[in-house]
Chains A and B, each alone.
Chain A
Amino acid sequence: MEHYTMNLNLKVWRQKNNSSKGAFKLYRVENISSEMSFLEMFDVLNEQLIHDGEEPIAFDHDCREGICGTCSMYINGKPHGPWQANTTCQLHMRAFKDGDTIVVEPWRAGAFPVIKDLMVDRSAFDRIIQAGGYISVNTGNAVDGNALPIAKDKADESFAAAMCIGCGACVAACKNSSAMLFLSAKVSHLALLPQGEPERKSRVMNMVAQMDKEGFGSCTNTGACEATCPKEISLTHIARLNKEYIFAGVTEK
Chain B
Amino acid sequence: MTWKQVFTSSVGKKLVMGFTGIFLILFLIVHVGLNACIWAGDNGEMFNKAAHFMGATVVPRVLEIGLFAGFFLHIIQGYMLAAQNKAKRPVGYAVNYGNRGSKWYSRSMGILGSLILLFLIMHVYHFWTPSRLGGIGNVHELAAVEYNGREYHNLFLEMKMVFESPVVVILYIVACISLAYHLAHGFQSAFRTIGVHNKRYNMMLTALGNGFAIIVPLAFAMMPVSFYLGWV
- Chain A residues with a Cβ under 8 A of chain B: 11, 24, 74, 76-78, 103, 105, 108-111, 173, 175-178, 205, 208-209, 211-212, 215-228, 235-246, 249-250, 252
- Give A11 to B94 CA distance when docked, in angstroms: 10
B216 within 8 A of A: no
Q: Tell me whether B11 and A241 are in contact (CB under 8 A).
A: yes
* A-chain residues with CB within 8 Å of residue B193 when the two chains form the complex: 219, 221, 239, 242
Task: List residues of chain B with CB within 8 A of the CB of A209.
Answer: 1, 5, 9
Determine whether the beta carbon of B95 is less than 8 Å from that of A76. yes
Can you list 24 pairs linking A and B with CB atoms under 8 Å apart? Answer: A76-B95, A77-B95, A103-B94, A103-B95, A105-B93, A110-B89, A173-B97, A176-B86, A178-B88, A208-B9, A218-B13, A218-B81, A219-B193, A220-B106, A220-B189, A223-B101, A227-B101, A228-B97, A239-B197, A240-B197, A241-B11, A242-B197, A243-B195, A252-B1
Q: Are B101 and A108 in contact (CB under 8 A)?
A: no
Q: Assess whether B202 is in contact with A178, with CB atoms less than 8 Å apart.
A: no
Shortest distance between the CB of B202 and any CB in chain A (Å): 7
| Nearest CB in chain A to that of B7: its residue | A249
Contact assessment for B85 and A175 in the assembled complex, using a CB-CB cutoff below 8 Å: yes
Beta-carbon contact of A110 and B88 below 8 Å: yes
B87 interface residue per 8 A CB criterion: yes
Given the known interface contacts A110-B87, A218-B84, the answer about A249 and B192 at a Cβ–Cβ threshold of 8 Å is no
Query: Which residue of chain B has the shortest Cβ distance to A177 in the bound complex?
Result: B88
Closest 9 interchain pairs by CB? A227-B101, A243-B195, A77-B95, A239-B197, A249-B6, A176-B85, A222-B102, A218-B10, A177-B88
Knowing A105-B95, A176-B88, A242-B15 touch, does A224 contact B102 (C-beta < 8 A)?
A: yes
Interface size for chain B: under 10, 10 to 19, 20 to 34, or 35 or more residues?
Answer: 35 or more
On B, residues with C-beta under 8 Å from A are: 1, 3, 5-7, 9-15, 81, 84-98, 100-103, 106-107, 109, 185, 188-189, 191-197, 199, 202
The interface residues of chain B lying within 8 Å CB-to-CB of A78 are 97-98, 100
Question: CB-CB < 8 A to A176: which residues of B?
Answer: 85-86, 88
Do A221 and B194 have beta carbons less than 8 Å apart? no
Contact B98 A77 (CB under 8 A): yes
| Residue of B whose beta carbon sits closest to that of A236 | B197
Q: Are B195 and A239 in contact (CB under 8 A)?
A: yes
Least CB distance, B168 to chain A, in whole angstroms:
32
A38 to B197, CA, bound (A): 37
Whether A239 touches B196, Cβ cut-off 8 Å, given contacts A111-B88, A218-B84, is yes
Asked whether, in the complex, the Cβ of B109 is within 8 Å of the Cβ of A220, the reply is: yes
Asked whether, in the complex, the Cβ of A108 is within 8 Å of the Cβ of B91, the reply is yes
Assembled-state Cα–Cα distance A177/B102 (Å): 14
| Cα–Cα, bound, A152→B219 (Å) | 47
A239 touches B192 (CB 8 A): yes
A242: which B residues are within 8 A, CB to CB? 11, 14-15, 192-195, 197
Residue of A nearest to B15 (CB): A246
Query: Separation in Å of the A47 CB from the closest CB of chain B?
Result: 26
A243 to B100, CA, bound (A): 27
Contacts of A217 in B (CB 8 A): 10, 84-85, 88-89
**Which residue of chain A has its CB nearest to the CB of B90?**
A110
Pairwise interchain contact B106-A208, C-beta atoms closer than 8 A: no
A192 → chain B closest CB, angstroms: 11
Using known A-B contacts A221-B193, A242-B195, A243-B195, determine if residue A216 contacts B95 with beta carbons closer than 8 Å.
no
